[in-house]
Structure 1
Amino acid sequence: MSAIDIIRARALGDVPHGFLGRSGGVSQGVHHGLNVGLGSDDDARAVAQNRHLAAEAVLPGAALVTLHQVHSAEALAVTAPYADDARPHADALVTDRPGLVLGILTADCAPVLFADAAAGVVGAAHAGWKGALGGVTDAALAAMEGLGADRTRIAAAIGPCIARASYEVDAGFVARFEAADAANERFFVAGRAGHAWFDLEAYVAHRLAAAGVARVEMLGEDTYAQAARFYSYRRATHRGEPSYGRQISLIGLR
C-alpha cells in the first residue's frame, strides 16, 4: 500500500486539512486506492478502512463527519458525528467543535475547504456545477457566520476537480449559467459546434470572491487528466468502466 497523498493549501495555514487523492488505500480493481465512497460498488469493509485511514492522516483521533451529498445548496452546522446510514442530505457542513474532521467526497466536482482560524470555525463544501450555481458556497459561508466566523477573515481553498480542458458541455448548459448572470460567459470557451469548455474551478473562485472571501486559493489539479492520482466520474464513464471511486477532502479543529 502506497503512502496517502495529502495536498495542502497555503491559504488554510496550520488548520488541519488535506485534499486526498487515490493513493494509500486498500481498495482493489477499478476502485483501487483510497476509495471512500459509501455509495460505490466497492467492498464495504475496504471503504470503511479507507475512511479511517483518511481521517487519521489529517487529524488523528478525530471523528469523521460526512454527508449524503445530493448536489444541493444546503449547509449544516455539525456538533457531533452521524452514523454512516443516518447522514443528512446536504452538500456543505461547518463546525466549531474540536475533535471533528469534516469530509467532502468528490470525483470531478470541486471540494472547497474553509477556515476562520481566529474564530475557530471551519467548513467544507461539495461544489459541482449544480451546487455551485445554486449557491452552496454562499450557504457554507452563512453557516460559518452563524457560528461566529467573519467572512472577511475566512480563507478558502478549491481542491482537485475537473479542469476546463477536460470539461466539455453543451449549449443548454451554457445557457443555464448565462441566464443566471450574463457575465458567466467568461467561464466558457467555445468548442465544437453546440459545445463549450467550462471552467468550474474559476466559477467557484468567482462565487467565493463575490461573497466577500478575501483569500481564495485554487490548486489547479485536474481529476480527469490524472488517472493514477484521482478518481473521476467523467473519465470512468468515457472508458466504460462499471463503477468509480471517490476521493475525500478533510478539515477539522484540534
Structure 2
Amino acid sequence: MIRLAMWARRAGRTDLYRRLLPRGDYWKNTFNPAVGHQAARLADGSWQPGFTPATGTGFAQGSSATYTWMVPQDVSGLARLMGGRDAATGRLDAFFHDEAGNWAVLGGNALRYDPTNEPGIHAPWLYNALGWPWKTQETVRQIVDTAYGTGPAGLPGNDDLGTMSAWYVFAAMGVFPQVPGRAELLVGSPVFPRVEVPRSTGARLVINADSTGTYVHGATLNGAPLTRSWLPESFVQHGGTLTLDLEPTANQQWATAEADLPRDH
C-alpha cells in the first residue's frame, strides 16, 4: 500500500494518497506483542494458536521470523514494538547468526535469514535505520561472498523476474532501495572501485570506492561530506557522484547520529 500511495501522490491523486498511506501501518494489526512477532489472526480477531517464530501458518513462502522484518517503511515503529533500537538490533543480529555466533545467511532454517526468496531479502539493510550501518556493510558483503557464485548454481534461489539477480546488482553497487515506490537509496559498500549508471534522461549515477575494504569510513556526495547512510531521491532523478572511503575495519561512528538515520515513510 505504501507503493500505491506514493504513486498516487506523484500522479496528483492526493485523495488516494491520503486513503492508502495509513494502510502502510496495517502491519501493526498482525504484530502480536505477546510473542514479539508477526502472527496470523483468525476471523474473530484472536491469534492463531500454536505459534512459534518458525511457523509458516498465515505466511506465504516464508516464516513469521522472516516476515516480522518486512516493514521497511517504518523501521523505527517496528523497533519501538521490539523494545527499542538496541533490542531490535540484537534480534536482527540473531536473524543472521546461529546460536554459536556463526553466520547463518544461506537459508535452510526458518528462524534465520533466507536469501532464496523475496520476503526477507531487504532485512540486511535495516541496520542503517537502526543506527548500525556498519552491520549492513558486513552482512551484505557476507551474503554477496557466500550465497552467490558463478555457474548454474550461482543464484541462491529462483530468479523470479530477476529479483535474486537485482539484489546482487544493488549489493555490488553498494546501494539498495529503501522503500518500494520511492527513490531514496540506502548506502552499503560497493565491491567495485567505480560504478557508472547512465540514465536515458541523461542523468549519470556515479559511485566511487576509494581504497579497498568492506566498511565505510567516510563519504561525500557531489563533493560535500555525507554523514547519512542514505541518498536522497535527487541522486536517482538527476544523477550525482557518491564517493566512499572503504577500509577493512568497521567505523562504528559513521552515519549513526539520530538526525542522520534513514527517514520512515
* Larger helix proportion of the pair: 2
Greater RCO (Cα-Cα under 8 Å, separation 6 or more): 1
Question: Could you say whether these structures have the same fold, taking a TM-score greater than 0.5 normalized by the shorter chain as the test?
Answer: no
TM-score, normalisation: structure 2: 0.31
